Structure formats: C-alpha cells, structure tokens
Structure 1
Amino acid sequence: MGMSDYIEKGNVQETPFGYTISVIGGKWKMLIIYLLAENQTVRFNDLKRKIGAITYKTLSSQLKELEADGMVIRKEYPQVPPKVEYSLTQKAETLLPVLEQLCEWGLNNYNK
C-alpha cells in the first residue's frame, strides 16, 4: 500500500508517514537520537551541553516524548546527586539507517 492510498482514505497524519513525523519531527528529536546513537548512553547535562541551544525544559519534554514513543530508555540511579542516563531502544536503532541516509543527503547538498 503506497502513501497515496493512505492519503486518499483520510488525514495525512493518520498515515505511516504521519506517525513517523509525530515520533521524530520537530527541531530536536532527530538530533537527540543522533547523539544517543553516537554516544550509546548519555546523561541529561551531557546531552544539553552537546546540543547547545536548547533549554532544560525543552530537552526534558523532548526526552519524555521520545520515551513515551518507545524510542528512548531513561535509567535513574538512586544516588545523591541523582544520576539519570538515556539510551536508545531497539525500536529507535531501527531508524539509524534512515538517519545515516539523511546525513549523507546533507553531506551531498550542504552549501550547494
């Protein structure tokens, strides 16, 4: 079944493409997934530092959404100060070849 078959039946957000965009769309989610893929396990403050121009509130909400969508694992260690680490789920890892293709597209088209 092609994308046009889904679109004919209703709202584009109800298509597989719409689902994908709802999970990884926006300014930060693919970047967060990319950083977690590169670093395996990352603490919140390290993620914030690596991204740079993101607020604590935005990073927190993006991570919560990614966790709710089954893309990110949040592991909390009961210690003082609290330690929380984030990593990718197997579901998110299946997306990595697509992200690699996007990176390659960027490499071929950046500054052209």
Structure 2
Amino acid sequence: MEFPSDLKYHKEHTWVKIEDDIATIGITDHAQNALGEILFVDLPEVGETITQGETFGTVESAKVASDLYAPISGEIIEVNEELDDDPELVNNSPYEDGWMIKVKIKNPDEQNNLLSSSDYEKSLE
C-alpha cells in the first residue's frame, strides 16, 4: 500500500492534498483495499459545506457501506462526477483519478490536526 508523503491524512482514512486554499479529498489506499470492489459513491453537491471530522458522504462496496469523514472544513467547489459511472476509479487510482471532492478551505489551521503519511501508516499497525 502506498501513502504519498505530499498528502495529509485523517484518522478515518481520508486524504487531502492542499494547493493554496483548495483541498482535494479522497479515501486512502488502505480504505479502498479494506472495502473491496467499490460499487457506488454518494457525495454532496457543489455549494454545500463540510466540517472537519464529520461525514460528507458514503462509499458502498460489495462488503459494506462506509461513511466518509471530512479531513478539513470548507465549501465544495467540485465533485468528481466520473465516479457516478466508474466508482472503481477509487480502487484503481485512490490518489489520482479516484479523488472525490474539491473544497475551498475555510480554516487553514485545521491541517495541523491531520496526520503525515508516516504517522498515518503507523496508526494502521
């Protein structure tokens, strides 16, 4: 499993890539592996706001439905609509093509609450 070092991680298995005041969010390689084949992703609409640590959607696999937890707060500015037709992108490319939402960051200091790739990997042991 891989955990890119340029990302930050939430303990509930979401990742965030921060570029200026925009955060791209998805689930980790560990999470997609544990879920198995992803069949459906339920995401919020553009314009909605999410709050760090609270759920913002669900992902359903052949095994289970699992809540998605926001690694950072903000307003949703883009949703990966490709996941509607091809939810397996999350399995095949969790950090690239399988991203879920993009958010305009509300409070940049919240990134201090997130884990580095090495700390996230240690949390899985």
- TM-score under structure 1 length normalisation: 0.31
Give the structure with the larger helix fraction.
1
Structure number with greater Rg is 1
Give the structure with the larger strand fraction.
2
- TM-score under structure 2 length normalisation: 0.29
Greater RCO, 1 or 2 (C-alpha within 8 Å, sep 6+): 2
